Amino acid sequence: MKKNMLLLLFFIGTIGYSQDWKTDFNLTKQEAVTQNKPILLVFSGSDWCAPCIKLDKNIWQSAEFKKYAAENLILERADFPKKKQNQLEAQIKKQNQDLAEIYNKDGIFPLVVVLDTTGKVLGTTSYKNISPTEYIGLLNSFLK
């Protein structure tokens, strides 16, 4: 019984901080303005880029980051998968390429860009082998 109750509490806690990664930058900007929150734009190669996969697993999927993001950020992922079965719709693919031309001209993967509500770059970073707490601190340093 205790084990079942603990599992239930764990799942409820996880659901409370689910991530909402957007893929339509126009809607992301609108939401950022409405909620007065900065945008976290991530350029990722989800099925081929080892550091991108580590960043997702170690930072984005952590309960600590999920809670922080839900309270402080609007999340946008510009993914560039290579495997045929993971290809994106043409419209999203074009949008991601357009975003890369503006915010990721050097083609860095992963690239994490923090933007204000107008799309101005506040800071950039990439994968770092640090804890979620340290990564959140790094992101916060861009917001000061």
Percentage above 90 pLDDT, the chain: 85
Q: State how far the Cα of 24 lies from the Cα of 70, in Å rounded to an integer.
A: 18
Would you state the structure tokens that stand for residue 65, as one six-digit string? Answer: 């980051």
pLDDT on residue 144: 87
Domain membership of residue 8 (yes or no) is no
Domain membership of residue 7 (yes or no) is no
Instruction: Specify the amino acid at residue 124.
Output: T
Model confidence, pTM: 0.87
Domain of residue 124, residue span: 16-142
The domain spanning residue 98 has which CATH number? 3.40.30.10
Band (1; pLDDT cuts 50, 70, 90): low
Structural domain count, the chain = 1
Domain membership of residue 51 (yes or no) is yes
pLDDT in tens, 97-142: 999 999 999 999 999 999 999 999 999 999 999 999 999 999 999 9
